[in-house]
Structure 1
Amino acid sequence: MTRADIQALADFLPPLQQPGFTAGNVRGGEQTEPGVLQMPFIDYDPVVDAFVEAAYRQSWVLTDFDWQVWAQSDEAKALQGEEAAIATATPEQLGRLITVCVRQERFCEGALMSAFDSGLILRIVERAAVLAGDPSSDLG
């Protein structure tokens, strides 16, 4: 990852730190006519859509590893659940986490909202901001 790739993530820090930021809302579930219910769906905030677009554009969504297997690993669980672990995460580990979050959404709507609501995406972006501002990091 280059410094520009890291900075693309770090640029999401201000909007994610805004008081009251919510990743999205559940919509639907209402009866649209007798006997017909609209399926519930997630209406994501534009910041979330922009984050996903940037993740793909900057190649944070990785295609060269088995994300489903990695998501069950001790490393993935520690990075997702332990603030101290993500505070030392490498760019590669951040990419793996982002890949898991984005790809899970394709199989389970709302998974990405959970990653935002739990603070995981904010912690990833905070770590990216640290890496982007650290001239001693080994980024290109």
Structure 2
Amino acid sequence: MSALEDLDEIDRALIRALAEDANASAGALGRRLGLSQPACWRRIQRLRAAGVFRGARLDLDLERLGFGVTVFLGIKLATKGRVSLEDFERAVRAIPEVQVVDHVLGAFDYRLRVVARDLPDFERVLRRRIMTLPGVGNVEANVMLSEERRPGPV
């Protein structure tokens, strides 16, 4: 399975159903899609083997865990020649508050999603961890006010 064209309607319906509830059993999914439990399980395994599913993740409620602030940072590296992208990426991945690291094209080289307990905690993370990363030049911060998630896959 190499492309979206290789997926049939049942595969697409199965992906949508798993996006809604990743814990659904093959039996329940099969009943919903008009398949037997073994047939549904085989399809799930085929999609997994093809790399359609990259793994299971928990959808954590960060606020309940004490992280009330989410900030998106745009990072422009100052010295691309002296500091490699790999050095920056390795260093930024070691910061636990950095949840997502995207290498992007545009005004910035990287876009980071950073969580913190509150704004003073974010300032500490920014000053002591992020601003000291190799090659960091310009930084732009955008504090998330609210988030609306689109359910399911594309």
Higher relative contact order (Cα pairs below 8 Å, separated by 6+ residues): 1
Greater strand proportion: 2
TM-score, structure 1 normalization: 0.24
Larger of the two Rg values belongs to structure = 2
Greater helix proportion: 1
